[in-house]
Structure 1
Amino acid sequence: MTVLAPLLQAPGEALVALDFDGTLAPIVADPTRARALPEAAPVLRRLAPALRSIVIITGRPAALAVEYGGLADVHNLTVLGQYGLERWSEGRLESPPEHPGVAEARRKLPLLLERAPEGVHLEDKGHALAVHTRRTAEPEVALERLRSIVAALAERTGLVVEPGRLVLELRPPGMDKGRALTAFAAEVKAGSVLVAGDDLGDLAAFDAADSLGIPAVKVCSGSDEVTELAARADVVVDGPRGVVALLRELADAVAP
């Protein structure tokens, strides 16, 4: 595919940066049941040795992304979890101390959600808290109803709100997928980059890819829920299956 040309010129210098949920794993109502497509890990195992590096940048805890993706034995892979606060590589996990605002929000948020619509689900990610409305009768309405409540709590606790696909996430400030990608690309001295995502949080990674000063390919894992990313992408593929197909095409071109 022509869109892969920037990486094919020097694959040994290429960095592939991927989101997890909605990009390697289909979006599901219960986040604990999310799993990468079965064919994702084998493709990454083939592809990784031929590249400078592969990095997964996700809002999930890094260890969960590794577990849910079946990625523990993929070498030359780094997982930056919690938008870059955590780092997993070759079986080793590095995680910072908890932000005090997260502990405070953990105490207060359940009380604030007592009158929320039935089906609202609170996910504790350790370094962040996510309020999901996908299970409610009217997910978009519920999300809008909760937006100001979550924003007010974020302001009181020194956290920021990361909006996503029927989710509002409270997390510490100072890190996002763009900053994580910029730092990692500099660390590995990437000569080109492919970045793939599906949600609003991936816009920062797209911005970073455009500012790295190296050839970049931006891939949107398409859905009906988020259109902003598609407008910025070089190519839009059909959800996680389309992402894995594109990675397989890259592997076929560069892997022995």
Structure 2
Amino acid sequence: MRTDRGAAGMAMIVSEPAGAVIALDFDGTLSPIVADPSAAWIHPAAPAALIRLAEHVARIVVITGRPPSTAIALGDTPDGPDLIDVPGLLILGHYGLERWEGGQLSAPPAPAGLDLVRNELPALIAALGPAADGVKIEDKGRAVAVHTRNCADPDGTLEALREPVALLAGRAELVVEPGRKVLELRGPGMDKGRALREVLAEVSARSVMFIGDDLGDLAAFAAVIEADIPGVRVCSGSAEVAELAESADVVVDGPPGVVALLEALHKSMTSRDQ
């Protein structure tokens, strides 16, 4: 544990788990970052770890930029339980715009500006010439993401796209969410911090842990601090996003480290009761 605040938050979660909310990002946290986003399958041990924790805590929440349906599909494991088997699971997709709970999905209409993005983004990318080779457009339904991970120069291509993508987003009345080799155009007014704050208020949480890996998770880290309850900010470590690690109370080694942390947390809770 790197901070006294984090140590106090962990102690509260272990001593009074019934008041705790455990919230997690999906990509890079429960699943690895891979070249093809459609192949980012959940760590095979993660659903079982979450199921065990769900027996003790107030709420398990996945807050993701993905649609909930995608998180559910990628939450399947070849053996053992799947993400959807976690009791009382809440999935907040598109940074909280979509809510999946108990098999039911609720969401507002998709932003109208996405049609403009879909029409103009391919030409915008093509204008980069050979540098655009390997760029992937991911249509998430309520957002459109531009991935550069498969380019010869991922960082250079991402930088070249920042300004034209921002201009297109402005015309479409959308915002740009930067991430690990990705720029996502989505509707304004919601982020992971707001989504987390709403869940904490909904369940009258007495403690919180949020686990993330990317720049979009900084808002949730801020919400942990602003909640005025004991909390722990966990970074699923990556050299690509140093800002998040610098703000974290705990840094773990990617999805395997996240699973190990969840398992250790459950062990601490159950050993306390024995």
TM-score normalised by structure 2 residue count: 0.91
Q: Which residue of 2 aligns with 1:160?
A: 175
How far apart are residue 85 of structure 1 and its match?
Answer: 0.5
SS at match of 1:100: coil
Q: Which residue of 2 aligns with 1:92?
A: 104
Amino acid at match of 2:159: E
Whole-angstrom distance in 1 between the partners of 2:150 and 2:235 = 25
How far apart are residue 81 of structure 1 and its match?
Answer: 0.2
Query: Which region of structure 1 is more displaced relative to structure 2, 245-254 or 211-220?
Result: 245-254
How far apart are residue 254 of structure 1 and its match?
Answer: 2.4
How far apart are residue 250 of structure 1 and its match?
Answer: 1.1
Whole-angstrom distance in 2 between the partners of 1:59 and 1:7 = 26
Q: Which residue of 1 aligns with 2:60?
A: 54
Whole-angstrom distance in 2 between the partners of 1:43 and 1:134 = 30
Whole-angstrom distance in 2 between the partners of 1:6 and 1:115 = 53
Q: Is the CA contact 2:155–2:181 (under 8 Å) kept in the aligned structure 1? A: yes
Q: Is the CA contact 1:14–1:52 (under 8 Å) kept in the aligned structure 2? A: yes
Q: Is the CA contact 2:15–2:269 (under 8 Å) kept in the aligned structure 1? A: no
Q: Which residue of 2 aligns with 1:7?
A: 13
How far apart are residue 114 of structure 1 and its match?
Answer: 1.7
Whole-angstrom distance in 2 between the partners of 1:140 and 1:244 = 29
Q: Which residue of 2 aligns with 1:254?
A: 269
SS at match of 1:193: strand
Whole-angstrom distance in 2 between the partners of 1:182 and 1:34 = 27
Q: Is the CA contact 1:99–1:127 (under 8 Å) kept in the aligned structure 2? A: yes
Whole-angstrom distance in 2 between the partners of 1:254 and 1:87 = 29
How far apart are residue 253 of structure 1 and its match?
Answer: 2.3
Deviations 1:203-252 (A, max 9, x none): 00000010001000000000110000111100111111111100011112
Deviations 1:180-221 (A, max 9, x none): 000111011111000010000000000001000100000000
How far apart are residue 110 of structure 1 and its match?
Answer: 1.4
SS at match of 1:15: strand
SS at match of 1:38: coil
Whole-angstrom distance in 1 between the partners of 2:263 and 2:195 = 25
Amino acid at match of 1:8: V
How far apart are residue 6 of structure 1 and its match?
Answer: 2.4
How far apart are residue 115 of structure 1 and its match?
Answer: 2.9
Q: Is the CA contact 1:101–1:159 (under 8 Å) kept in the aligned structure 2? A: yes
Q: Which residue of 2 aligns with 1:129?
A: 144
Q: How does 1:39-118 map to 2 (within 5 A)?
A: 39-70=45-76, 71-116=83-128, 117-118=132-133
Q: How does 1:134-149 map to 2 (within 5 A)?
A: 134-149=149-164
Amino acid at match of 1:61: P
Whole-angstrom distance in 2 between the partners of 1:48 and 1:253 = 14
Q: Is the CA contact 1:63–1:93 (under 8 Å) kept in the aligned structure 2? A: no
Whole-angstrom distance in 2 between the partners of 1:189 and 1:68 = 30
**Unpaired runs of at least 5, structure 2:** 77-82
Identical residues among aligned pairs (%): 56
Whole-angstrom distance in 2 between the partners of 1:18 and 1:46 = 15
**Unpaired runs of at least 5, structure 1:** none
